[in-house]
């Protein structure tokens, strides 16, 4: 697989789908969450699939298996921390609008870099329902800024 999740896929609760073993599904999700510490490229897809751990269906299991097939195809991709680089703190953020079909909440993502070294990243569902794309992006930016301010105080 070239991507961890298919473009344009919107997972939902799939109430009419066939149920799968919860213990197996949670074990797979747990392994993927552990792996996100060094593979930020699977963060969004893993968190999306983790939302359905309470009642997983075959469609959710299929999405998780796609992540594993992606990882098998690209085992060399990971974090790289070069020795000689600047120490500037930079952050990037983005959000979708009403990406979750269940509650219409948006998903935010952000990453922080020291020089050209990735040191922190997140991908999560927003706490509020945004009425526009701009509002979803402002909420994401506010969350990212609070993380950057915390990092500045630590540095």
Q: In the 3-class helix/strand/coil scheme, how is the chain assigned residue by residue?
A: CCCCCCCCCCCCCCCCCCECCHHHHHHHHHHHHHHCCCCHHHHHHHHHHHCCCCCCEHHHHHHHHHHHHHHHHCCCCCCCCCCCCCCCEEEEEEECCCCCCCCCCCEEEEEEEECCEEEEEEEEECCCCCCCHHHHHHHHHHHHHHHHHHHHHHC
Determine the pLDDT at residue 50: 95
Global pTM? Answer: 0.68
Kindly tell me if the per-residue pLDDT of 110 is higher than 90.
Answer: yes
The stretch 1-12 carries a mean pLDDT of 86
In tens, the pLDDT along 116-145 reads 888 888 888 999 999 999 999 999 999 999
Determine the pLDDT at residue 118: 86
* pLDDT over 70 percentage in the chain: 100
């Amino acid at each position: 697989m070239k991507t961890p999740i298919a473009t344009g896929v919107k997972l939902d609760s799939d109430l009419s789908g066939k149920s799968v073993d919860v213990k197996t599904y949670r074990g797979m999700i747990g392994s993927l969450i552990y792996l996100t510490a060094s593979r930020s490229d699977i963060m969004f897809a893993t968190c999306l699939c983790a939302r359905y751990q309470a009642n997983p269906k075959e469609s959710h299991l299929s999405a998780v298996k796609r992540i594993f097939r992606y990882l098998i195809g690209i085992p060399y991709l990971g974090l790289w921390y070069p020795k000689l680089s600047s120490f500037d703190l930079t952050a990037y953020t983005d959000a979708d609008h009403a990406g979750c079909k269940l509650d219409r909440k948006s998903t935010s993502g952000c990453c922080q870099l020291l020089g050209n070294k990735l040191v922190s990243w997140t991908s999560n569902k927003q706490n509020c329902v945004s009425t526009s794309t701009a509002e979803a992006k402002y909420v994401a930016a506010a969350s990212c800024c609070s993380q950057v301010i915390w990092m500045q105080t630590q540095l």
